Structure 1
Amino acid sequence: MASAVRAGRRLRRAAEGGELEGVPASLRGELEEALASEGALVPFSLLRRLHAALREAGSPLYLHQLLEGSEIHLPEVPVPPRNPELVARLERIKAKLANEEYRRMTRNITGQEMNGTLAEFGRQVRSVKAVVITVFNFIVTVAAAFACAYLGSQYVFAESAAHVLSAVIVASVVGLAELYIMVRTLEGDLGKL
């Protein structure tokens, strides 16, 4: 926090030229001593007392006129030394974040993404394969039921129309039963395909 002013030419000229009439000699001495110090830093407390003395003396000189060209002195803030443990931890975190960013950027370049796509493609092929096998199994089962019913009906019926009709009925019943089991399987009641 600022606590002093670096004196400008106007304040120096007033102190050296005797414009500070009516100001006690001790106060003028303090001001001259402050102006002679390194950096010509005049503390705010001295300026307050100077201002009060100028008002008591009824001087036509105002404090803002004296401070014209002066600068507020801001002392340097001492920077505390950094904790080495904290610095090491921050370096590890930065390295970890940089590594993650690098992996994220290069994810599509390496074979990782392709392996993921191939794995997904393999799952889809297996799923399609299971569906094809199920449909093939359905067709074979219905055809076998039709053939068995047609051949078996020859021993019961003499007409060819009766053979075909009985075979269609048996094949339809077996097909509906097979569809019922497929639907239940796909719904997950009897397990996965």
Structure 2
Amino acid sequence: MASSLLAGERLVRALGPGGELEPEQLPRKLRAELEAALGKKHTGGDSSSGPQHLVSFRLIRDLHHHLRERDSKLYLHELLEGSEIYLPEVVKPPRNPELVARLEKIKIQLANEEYKRITRNVTCQDSRHGGTLSDLGKQVRSLKALVITIFNFIVTVVAAFVCTYLGSQYVFTEMASVLGYRAECWPASLKPGSPHLQRVLAALIVASVVGLAELYVMVRAMEGELGEL
């Protein structure tokens, strides 16, 4: 935090012999403090401008107060012409070595986790780490699961068709015997059809329903696998 300023040439000349502050009859203590402050040279800051003088804000306030009490025609802002606020260089405290080592360790750990996340779906081409063999095994298992699923679908649909066709012979035989009773007396448009054709149609309907159900289950299972990926 700034607490002083770099005195300009105007303030230095005003406080010197025959300067503008000489007629103002400054208090002895204030003049001594100002002369002591201007007598000390500050070598920091801009080295090209040479040594500079530091004056605290307290002395500037005391000088301003004295000028106001005397109703002086000399204004403070005129005396401070060429002066600048001095901002001391901030010295950073040394960091704790243990804390620095811990932060570096955390940074390395986070970088490794980020690298693993980015390269999670990248295929490893190094056979020494088994990347190619593991990928090949995954592809074979996926293909095997797909073949088994298709085979189960076909077997299920065919089994539903066969079971319905074989089981419906008893139903349609009895229906044919009942509906065929005195069928010769029926009009041609109302005569019952062939029992064999009816059994085939019934088997196709059941097989279609079972196939649609299997397809629905397969699609839901594939959606779940894709969601996990």
The match for 1:78 among 91, 111, 119 is 91
Report what 1:27 is aligned to: 30
Report what 2:158 is aligned to: 136
Q: Aligned partners of 1:126, 1:104: CA distance in 2, in Å?
A: 33
Q: Aligned partners of 1:120, 1:38: CA distance in 2, in Å?
A: 83
Report % sequence identity.
Answer: 44
**Normalised TM-score (structure 1):** 0.68
| Letter of the 2:6 counterpart | R
* Cα drift, residue 16 of structure 1: 1.3
**Normalised TM-score (structure 2):** 0.59
SS in 2 for 1:6: strand
SS in 1 for 2:194: helix
Report what 1:13 is aligned to: 13
Q: Aligned partners of 1:61, 1:105: CA distance in 2, in Å?
A: 72
RMSD between aligned residues: 3.8
Q: Aligned partners of 2:54, 2:153: CA distance in 1, in Å?
A: 92
Q: Point out the more displaced range, 97-106 or 67-76.
A: 97-106
Q: Aligned partners of 1:88, 1:128: CA distance in 2, in Å?
A: 58
Please give the per-residue CA displacement for 1:59-104, whole angstroms capped at 9, x wherever unaligned. Answer: 3221111111111112233323323343233212211222233234
Q: Does 1:127 align with 2:127?
A: no
SS in 1 for 2:102: helix
- Which consecutive unaligned segments of at least 5 residues does structure 2 have? 43-52, 125-130, 178-192, 222-229
SS in 1 for 2:16: helix
Report what 1:54 is aligned to: 67
Quick one: structure 1 residues 107 and 165, their matched pair in 2 at CA, closer, same or farther if it must change by over 3 Å? same
- Which consecutive unaligned segments of at least 5 residues does structure 1 have? 158-163
SS in 1 for 2:5: strand
* Cα drift, residue 31 of structure 1: 0.5
Quick one: structure 1 residues 11 and 124, their matched pair in 2 at CA, closer, same or farther if it must change by over 3 Å? farther
